[in-house]
């Protein structure tokens, strides 16, 4: 199942004698044992720092059969501390200079040869204070406050590859404290996810189910009809506005593209330290997307940095700071393939400080992997109040993700016990059902990200096989249903990143939410309501002639000043532009909030790639939880679990769509003081 041990293969890696010895002695170990060894070494270094030669520590770990305490006792009883060698110190110094810091051109060159290529998604933040004024077009937006999102222009790229651009991100340091037992979620457009589970639900849950019913009855069902009507329409690949462009049958082309494989956007979510980066890094390695030399390099570097057990996580955690802190901050994006799909993988940060980044990642995902730590106490910590397991689950569901694979990870820590697996899946199952996931759309897979077990092939360990006969993680990813792509609708792309290219124009990246685009096409950016030409399109680092809804692309644009484009701008079809407004009405579901929401309540509107300050301008009505009828007009306040119609006012104009027209562009979240207070859908655009 696992790839061979990572060996030096004469690739010119300058290892020290110590590292050579380390690998010699390590040679006979299985991947799982080597991972356990690294984990033990990390823990020992915390106690011993670099005072004991590595070989001694390795030997002690092996002698004590991976029992850290015994190994420590062994080492200390041998009195090895006198062996602090200068050679060893040298090794440490080398490690320090290499870990995620400035690299020389040689290593930069080597990086560029590394597969997979990781793209960092820029996340908008701190826009309140760092707004960026754009000259306005008088008849559209007289206030001129056209910027959505902080300007994100990266340096000219060193490697000339737009998708490799690693952006510095601005992060909102929210203190997220979501109350436990949140059970509300927005009803889903496919109309099947919201059946209330009477009898099974807690009090909170029944509130949620009521809300769900209310939403679906009051507004969603007619839209469902509308959506399916659209989907049933004979494909009309050529838009009204495309008289001048070559006619292509997008749907037919999409089927042929990528060797007939469907594209799927996958986000990995879960509490910090659940093992997300390690799991996905190891999966990429086992799939052959990371070559042995690179993995060896990561292993060496992480070992020298005193974080050997993070080697696989380094495949996805690119920045020096991420590596030093050992947490994912940015959304790392990369690509891999399964039998029937091409997956764009987004590794979202689990730390509560980076929830806004996670929202941006999740807003662009079709499906999600929720990683939970099976270790005793750890699953509980992530699942209880303050943990990100619930928060992430709710957020992705509210952002439109309906299919979920739950990786019950670190099963090696609990000896692959079936009881522990069942305990976790039953707790999570109940919660996920309340959050609006259909039972049949959630799959649970026991994994060990560190050992690589049950990732790309079914687990071999008898401890697992005696009770688990299900799919491995890769098989589960492969069996996700591909989502509907709105290729028949007018073109829409919400900007996730802006940067200067080597050439004359500039580049934007983002996911095409609707329609399709061809090279040479004119596009309108909203705001600032200006047009430009798409000179080039890049999909997964390859130049392409066209791209369609669901694709994460990089567009090279000409005929417009980069200064006018911000993260959050929407590029659209000039004939059928997206609406821009500062005032809109929405149907919202209030989460478990402590303070009731009143008129004038300040919030942060999280929408696609932006987060924009806004206020709740009016409380229009409270809707009945199950019938959707207005139960109260002009309420004085809204409290937890309520379903209501409100009017929102944003500080600066935002490009929005009605949920009934473009479900992807009509959904948003409201946050206040670091907590998610509501999820909503746009029902009316005012001005």
Nearer to ligand GDP, 299 or 661 (CB): 299
- Judged by CB under 6 A, does residue 272 bind ligand GDP? yes
> Which of 289, 405, 305 is closest to 97 using CA atoms?
305
Q: Supply 653's token pair.
A: 């104009």
Q: Which stretch binds ligand GDP (CB under 6 A): 173-181, 322-330, 556-564, 572-580?
A: 322-330
| Among positions 425, 448, 538, 643, the unique one binding ligand GDP when judged by CB under 6 A | 448
- Judged by CB under 6 A, does residue 350 bind ligand GDP? yes
- Judged by CB under 6 A, does residue 124 bind ligand GDP? no
Nearer to ligand GDP, 318 or 521 (CB): 318
Is the bond preceding 424 in cis, omega lying within 30 degrees of 0? no
| Among positions 361, 436, 446, 449, the unique one binding ligand GDP when judged by CB under 6 A | 449
| Among positions 119, 223, 289, 309, the unique one binding ligand GDP when judged by CB under 6 A | 309
- Judged by CB under 6 A, does residue 410 bind ligand GDP? yes
* Cα distance between residue 51 and residue 233, in whole Å: 71
Nearer to ligand GDP, 23 or 312 (CB): 312
SS (H, E, C) 446-499: ECECCCCECCCCCCCCHHHHCCCCCCCHHHHHHCCCCCCCCCCCCCEEEEEEEE
* Cα distance between residue 592 and residue 50, in whole Å: 48
CB atoms within 10 A of CB 634: 10
In whole angstroms, the minimum distance from the beta carbon of 226 to ligand GDP comes to 39
Nearer to ligand GDP, 448 or 486 (CB): 448
- Judged by CB under 6 A, does residue 509 bind ligand GDP? no
Q: Supply 239's token pair.
A: 């838009």
> Which of 333, 368, 389, 401 is closest to 667 using CA atoms?
401
- Judged by CB under 6 A, does residue 310 bind ligand GDP? yes
Q: DSSP letter string over 387-434?
A: -HHHHHHHHHHHTT--EEEEEEE-GGGGTT-HHHHHHHHHHHHHHHHH
Nearer to ligand GDP, 272 or 570 (CB): 272
| Among positions 91, 213, 277, 461, the unique one binding ligand GDP when judged by CB under 6 A | 277
User: For residues 521-560, which are near ligand GDP according to CB under 6 A?
Assistant: none
What x/- string results for residues 135 through 154 when contact with ligand GDP is judged by CB under 6 A?
Answer: --------------------
- Judged by CB under 6 A, does residue 409 bind ligand GDP? yes
Contacts of 12 (CB under 8 A, 6+ apart): none
393 and 431 Cβ atoms separated by less than 8 Å: yes
CB atoms within 10 A of CB 235: 12
In whole angstroms, the minimum distance from the beta carbon of 64 to ligand GDP comes to 17
In whole angstroms, the minimum distance from the beta carbon of 244 to ligand GDP comes to 47
Nearer to ligand GDP, 240 or 376 (CB): 376
User: For residues 412-441, which are near ligand GDP according to CB under 6 A?
Assistant: 412-413
- Judged by CB under 6 A, does residue 393 bind ligand GDP? no
Q: Which residue is nearest to ligand GDP (CB)?
A: 275
* Cα distance between residue 388 and residue 579, in whole Å: 34
In whole angstroms, the minimum distance from the beta carbon of 368 to ligand GDP comes to 14
- Judged by CB under 6 A, does residue 357 bind ligand GDP? no
420 and 414 Cβ atoms separated by less than 8 Å: yes
* Cα distance between residue 32 and residue 161, in whole Å: 36
List of residues contacting ligand GDP (CB under 6 A): 39, 270, 272-278, 309-310, 313, 326-328, 350, 409-410, 412-413, 448-450
């Amino acid at each position: 199942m696992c790839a061979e041990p990572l060996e030096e293969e004469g690739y010119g890696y300058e290892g020290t004698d110590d590292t050579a010895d380390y690998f010699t002695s390590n040679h006979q170990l299985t991947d799982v044992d080597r991972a356990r060894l690294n984990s033990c070494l990390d823990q020992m270094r915390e106690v011993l720092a670099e005072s004991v030669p590595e070989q001694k520590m390795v030997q002690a770990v092996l002698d004590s059969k991976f029992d850290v305490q015994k190994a420590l006792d062994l080492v200390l009883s041998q009195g090895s501390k006198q062996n602090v060698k200068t050679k060893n110190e040298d090794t440490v110094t080398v490690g320090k200079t290499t870990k995620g810091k400035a690299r020389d051109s040689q290593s930069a060159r080597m990086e560029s040869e590394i597969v997979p290529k990781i793209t960092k998604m820029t996340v908008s933040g701190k826009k309140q204070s760092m707004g960026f004024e754009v000259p306005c077009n008088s008849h559209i937006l007289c206030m001129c406050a056209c910027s959505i999102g902080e300007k994100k222009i990266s340096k000219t790229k060193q490697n000339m590859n737009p998708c490799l651009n690693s952006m510095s991100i601005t992060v909102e340091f929210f203190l997220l404290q979501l109350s436990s037992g949140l059970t509300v979620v927005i009803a889903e457009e496919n109309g099947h996810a919201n059946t209330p589970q009477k009898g099974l639900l807690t009090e909170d849950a029944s509130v949620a189910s009521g809300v769900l019913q209310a939403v679906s009855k009051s507004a969603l069902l007619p839209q469902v009809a509308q959506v399916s009507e659209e989907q049933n329409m004979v494909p009309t690949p050529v838009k009204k506005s495309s008289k001048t462009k070559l006619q292509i049958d997008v749907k037919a082309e999409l089927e042929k593209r990528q060797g007939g494989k469907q594209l799927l956007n996958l986000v990995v979510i879960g509490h910090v330290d659940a093992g997300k980066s390690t799991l996905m890094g190891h999966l990429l390695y086992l799939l052959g997307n990371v070559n042995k030399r690179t993995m060896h390099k990561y292993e060496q570097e992480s070992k020298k940095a005193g974080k050997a057990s993070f080697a696989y996580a380094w495949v996805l955690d690119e920045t020096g700071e991420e590596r030093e802190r050992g947490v994912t901050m940015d959304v790392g994006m990369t690509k891999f393939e399964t039998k029937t799909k091409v997956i764009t993988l987004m590794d979202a940060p689990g730390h509560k400080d980076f929830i806004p980044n996670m929202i941006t990642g999740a807003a662009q995902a079709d499906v999600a992997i929720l990683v939970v730590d099976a270790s005793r106490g750890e699953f509980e910590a992530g699942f209880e109040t303050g943990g990100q397991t619930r928060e992430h689950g709710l957020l992705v569901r509210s952002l439109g993700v309906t299919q979920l694979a739950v990786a019950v990870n670190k099963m090696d820590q609990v000896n692959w016990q079936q009881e522990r697996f069942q305990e976790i899946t039953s707790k999570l199952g109940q919660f996920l059902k309340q959050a609006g996931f259909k039972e049949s759309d959630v799959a649970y897979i026991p994994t060990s990200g560190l050992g690589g077990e049950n990732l790309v092939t079914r687990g071999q360990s008898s401890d697992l096989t005696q009770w688990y006969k299900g799919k491995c993680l890769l098989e589960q990813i492969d069996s996700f249903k591909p989502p509907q792509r709105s290729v028949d609708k007018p073109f829409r792309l919400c900007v996730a990143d802006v940067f200067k290219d080597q050439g004359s124009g500039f580049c934007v990246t983002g996911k095409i939410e609707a329609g399709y685009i061809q090279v040479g096409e004119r596009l309108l950016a909203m705001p600032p309501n200006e047009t430009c030409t798409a000179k080039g399109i890049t999909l997964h680092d390859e130049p392409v002639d066209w791209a369609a809804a669901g694709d994460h692309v990089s567009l090279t644009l000409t005929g417009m000043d980069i200064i006018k484009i911000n993260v959050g701008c929407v590029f659209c079809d000039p004939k059928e532009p997206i609406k821009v407004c500062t005032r809109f009405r929405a149907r919202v579901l209030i989460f478990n909030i402590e303070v009731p929401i009143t008129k004038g309540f300040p919030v942060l509107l999280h929408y696609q790639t932006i987060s924009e300050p806004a206020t709740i301008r009016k409380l229009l009505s409270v809707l009945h939880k199950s019938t959707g009828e207005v139960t109260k007009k002009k309420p004085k306040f809204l409290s937890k679990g309520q379903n209501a119609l409100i009017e929102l006012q944003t500080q600066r104009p935002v490009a929005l769509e009605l949920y009934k027209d473009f479900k992807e562009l009509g959904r948003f979240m409201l946050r206040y003081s670091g907590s998610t207070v509501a999820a909503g859908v746009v029902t009316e655009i005012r001005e």
